[in-house]
Every structure is written in structure tokens, then in C-alpha cells.
Structure 1
Amino acid sequence: MFFTVLITGASSGIGEYLAYEYARRGACLALSARREERLRAVADKARELGSPDVLVIATDISKVEDCERFVKEAVNHFGKLDHLVTNAGVAQIDMFEDCKQISDFATSMNTNFWGSVYASHFAIPHLRKSKGRIVGISSIAGWCSMPRTSFYSASKAAITSFYETLRAELGPDIKITIVTPGVVESEMTRGDFVSKGQMDFVLAESTERCAKAIVDSACQRRNRYLVEPSWARITFLIKVLCPEVLEWWLHRVFVAKRSKKSN
């Protein structure tokens, strides 16, 4: 029996390498992102790596009608859906009080959070039939909120809470793996996310290694949660046990100390 996976944000970064990792395991893939030409390049490589069938669907995941369309196209093409991977995400980096137009930050919520909500809503009836799995890509920023990432962090925290609620609602019919990566090599982290966010000293994990850990977690270990890299769990413990220390350190390292350097 063939295995089908729908991945959002599959044109680059974690989503691209998730496509390759699933392809190595022989999965049929439906790849979704805005950049169709780039998606086709990813699809070609996925076929070379072992995927028997790859469907490319150009999509703006922040639009509910696009999400309905790409789920419908994937199910019509393959006849079923086993895994939905909600990976698409953007990051807008700035100090909250420096923001000139607050509505600009709506992009983070529309893509990161609402895109996951829309895709999940339309996929759930099909995942219920296959007793499938949702793999929701959140972020360590969802619990360790870094300065200059207020809306990115908020969107990722919302994703985590949303999928925890869905897990309770759906019960055993649909399994959910919530993934909280740290800083991972990607187009996003090679841009403003690290430089403007002044996180250039943070070690980024390779995209390939992160993707392998995610697919292992979803397909083999069937984890409820995955923190990757695993050492990042320490930030959660610090936040729970001594949140004031974490907040002091974040302000000192990412705000006060960096402001002195820029001056």
C-alpha cells in the first residue's frame, strides 16, 4: 500500500528536506508552496531519491481557498492522505516598539498560524479515514520568546496550543507530532532572522539532519513531541524553573548588549 504525504512550504528549508527524507522512504508526495518553479526542482530531486509520484501544487497558504484547493487536489490525485506536514512559515524581525506599521506583522500570523489551521481543517476528514498523522512544525521560539521575534514567537506558540487542543479533540483517530526546532539552516535563517535578530552567535543545525529527525519521529518513533536539536530542551526547563533568569539573560544578550555594540 502506498503512503501519501502533503507538505506545505516545501520549496526550501526544512520543507524541502522533509520532501527528500520522505522520498527516501518511498512516499508519494504532494508539495505545496508559492514558488512553483522551485517546487518543481524539489519534486525532480524527490523522484530521483525514490518517491514514486510527486504532485506540485502552487499555493498561498495564508488564503483559505488555496488550502482547500491543494488538499482536494492531493486527495483527488492519490485517493488518500496519510500525513499532513504543516511547515510553511515566515519570520518578521524587529523590536515591537520600532514597528512603523503594526498591520505588517499580520503576515506572520496569516502564514504561520492560520495557514496551519486552514490546511488541518480540510485535511482532517481524509486523515481520519487513513488514521493518519499531522506533523506540525512549531519552533523553540514558541516557548523561548527571543527579543525582536514577537509575532513569529506568538504564531509558533499558537501553533503548539492549537495542535495540543486538536490532539485532545481528535483522540486516537489522528495522531499529532508537534515539532519545535531550534535555529536551522534555511533561506529564512540566512536572511534577517539571524543578522537583524542579532543571533549570529547561535549555532544552526543542518536542514538535512533536522528533517531526518522529524521524519524518524513521525514514522518510526511516532512521538507526540520532538525538540530538535535535543539539547534545546534545556531552555524549556529554565523557563519553567526560573523564568526570571531566562528573561534577564535574553534581554542582556539580545537587547542591552547588542544595543551597546550598535552604538
Structure 2
Amino acid sequence: MIVVTAATGHLGRLAVTALLDRGVPADRIVAAVRNPDKAADLGVEVRLADYTRPETLATAFAGAEKVLLISSNAMGERLAQHRNAVDAAKAAGVGLLVYTSVLRADTTGLGLAVEHKATEEYITASGLPHVFLRNGWYLENYTENLAPALTHGALLGSAENGLVSAAARADYAAAAAVVLTTDAPAKIYELAGDRGFTMTELAAEVSRQSGKEIAYRDLPQAEYFAALTGAGVPEQYADLLADSDVGVAKGDLHASDTVLSGLIGRPTTSLADAVSVALKN
């Protein structure tokens, strides 16, 4: 039995679908979610699982051979939440814990990585057999938020001319499904898109496909943070975005290898394809 946590989130839903596409029977997949009502359409068994309520995790992981632990999005609180999940997995005798981390979690300067690195250390110390999927940036981090750029003719950021090797959520979900259904040869996978791009290239691609002139405006980190909060982005999330953009400038979200495409057996989703899908929605 394979348990997928946060299964009603963007990545979780795609992971369940990817497992089904790989031929895992629906009755061998459990969607572990905070709100079971939102998981009725997944077509698999649904169990209540709240990272902040250990008793729900014990029930959710009962009988699990493998668990895909999708990281919490509760910044500042997720280490404690992840520890609850790891403890529950260990108590349940889970045979493999697969954790979605961040690219080069142990060496990157990204503020986002602090809780991921600590979680990885906790998992390692637990003694559980494990795999770390160190996911790079999602293409959707850009393509799902194109409306302001299309409205104002400008894409803002603090990434300078740094390259970001982003891939689609579906690519990362497919990688998780491969690891969960095969004998993974490695304990750590550094996953990223096949080809890096700059924010200037992103703006040019959006311009080409939309027919609207979009320019990239590079801002100091503090000004970008102010622009995000001024647009209504919560301060904590705005700080993460601004810090991550500075990380892009430093190369923290760029990778030159093709581990992800090699794992999933196809090229990762291209920037052009991701922009095309976004503009049609």
C-alpha cells in the first residue's frame, strides 16, 4: 500500500494520478488529506491525515508499505509537522519514506531550504529507509501568476540574469511515482528542468505567445518584496519569493544535469509549453 500525503494539493493530486498511470491498483493507494470531502474525486481510498494531529497520522499510515511525504506549506511550522509524520511512519513500520525536499537542500543558501534540511536530518536520524526528492522550482510558480504581467506589461523580480531550471509539477509527480514503484537506486535525487531560463527569457516567451509586449524589470530585493506585499501577497510568502529570486541570481535554482528527465524517461516540460497552457486557461 502506498500512502500519499497532502493528496488534495497540486502536487499530491498529480502524484496519485501518476501512480494510477503506472498501473498501481486504486485499492493500493491511500490519499491522506486534512479534508476528506475534497478527495472524493481521486478514485482511491481516502483517510484523514493532519500533520498537526499525530493521532490522525497513525491511522492514515496503518498498513502502509511506502509513504510519499509531501512537504507542508506552513512555513515556520512545517518542521514540527514533518516530525509528527516521520514519527508516525516509523511507528507504523513503513518500509520506505519518500520526502519532497528542495534542490540541494544541504548546501543551498535559500531560506526556503532551512526546514527542508532539518527535516532530512530528522528522517535520516529516524532510521527509516528513505528517499529525498529534492525538487527544483515549479514552472507554475511563474505561469500561474501571469495576469499582473499581462495587465501592466512588466514582469517583476530580483533574479537578475540568473538561470532557473524549473519543471512542471507533473514532472516532479511522475518522478515520485517512479521512485515509489521501483527499487530506487539512490537515496537522494536532485531534480530540475532540462533547460534553464532567465526572467528576461520568460518575459520574451510570454510576449511571443500573448502578443503583448512584456518586459522584465529587475528590482532590489527590498523593492520586490514591497511590490509583492503591495499587491496583497502575505509578508511571509513575499519574503520567501523575494529571497528565492535572489537565490536564482546566485544560481541556487539552476542545475545543468538531467536527473529528472532520466528518471521519468522523457524530457521535462518546456517553458514554451507551460506558458501555452497557462495562456489558454
What TM-score, normalized by structure 1, do the two folds share? 0.59
Give the structure with the higher percent helix: 1
One-letter amino acid matched to 2:24:
G
User: 2:67 is matched with which residue: 84, 96, 119?
Assistant: 84
The alignment covers a number of residue pairs equal to: 187
Kept in 1, the 8 Å contact 2:165–2:192? The answer is: no
Kept in 2, the 8 Å contact 1:182–1:204? The answer is: yes
Q: Which residue of 2 aligns with 1:117?
A: 83
Q: CA RMSD in A?
A: 3.4
CA-to-aligned-CA distance 1:173-221 (integer Å, 9 cap, x gap): x421011000124579846xxx887569735311112111122134324
User: 2:120 is matched with which residue: 156, 160, 167?
Assistant: 160
One-letter amino acid matched to 1:72:
T
Superposition map of 1:249-260 within 5 A:
258-259=219-220
One-letter amino acid matched to 1:71:
A
Identity of aligned residues (%): 10
Kept in 2, the 8 Å contact 1:55–1:74? The answer is: no
Structure 1 30/210 Cα, relative in aligned 2: closer, same or farther at 3 Å? same
Q: Which residue of 2 aligns with 1:60?
A: 50
Q: Which residue of 1 aligns with 2:3?
A: 6
Tell me, in whole angstroms, the C-alpha distance in 2 between the residues paired with 1:109 and 1:54. Answer: 31
Q: Which residue of 2 aligns with 1:228?
A: 191
Kept in 1, the 8 Å contact 2:133–2:189? The answer is: yes
CA-to-aligned-CA distance 1:98-146 (integer Å, 9 cap, x gap): xxxxxxxxx41322x2222111211213225xxx100011111623223
Secondary structure of the structure 1 residue equivalent to 2:17: helix
Secondary structure of the structure 1 residue equivalent to 2:31: strand
Deviation at 1:40, TM superposition (A): 2.4
One-letter amino acid matched to 1:227:
E
Deviation at 1:73, TM superposition (A): 4.4
Does residue 144 of structure 1 match 2:134? no
Kept in 2, the 8 Å contact 1:39–1:56? The answer is: no
Structure 1 189/5 Cα, relative in aligned 2: closer, same or farther at 3 Å? farther
Secondary structure of the structure 1 residue equivalent to 2:18: helix
Does residue 108 of structure 1 match 2:75? yes
Q: Which residue of 2 aligns with 1:95?
A: none
Secondary structure of the structure 1 residue equivalent to 2:131: strand
Q: Which residue of 2 aligns with 1:213?
A: 175
Deviation at 1:14, TM superposition (A): 2.0
Q: Which residue of 1 aligns with 2:24?
A: 26
Tell me, in whole angstroms, the C-alpha distance in 2 between the residues paired with 1:110 and 1:261. Answer: 24
Deviation at 1:155, TM superposition (A): 0.7
Structure 1 219/109 Cα, relative in aligned 2: closer, same or farther at 3 Å? farther
Displaced runs of 4 or more, over 6 A: none
One-letter amino acid matched to 2:108:
C
CA-to-aligned-CA distance 1:226-261 (integer Å, 9 cap, x gap): 1112769xxxxxxxxxxxxxxxxxxxxxxxx63189
Deviation at 1:160, TM superposition (A): 1.9
What TM-score, normalized by structure 2, do the two folds share? 0.56
Q: Which residue of 2 aligns with 1:104?
A: none
Gaps of 5+ in 2: 146-154, 196-217, 225-281
Structure 1 221/190 Cα, relative in aligned 2: closer, same or farther at 3 Å? farther
Structure 1 117/37 Cα, relative in aligned 2: closer, same or farther at 3 Å? same
Tell me, in whole angstroms, the C-alpha distance in 2 between the residues paired with 1:21 and 1:217. Answer: 11
User: 1:184 is matched with which residue: 138, 143, 146?
Assistant: 138
One-letter amino acid matched to 2:81:
G
Q: Which residue of 2 aligns with 1:126?
A: 92
Kept in 2, the 8 Å contact 1:83–1:134? The answer is: yes
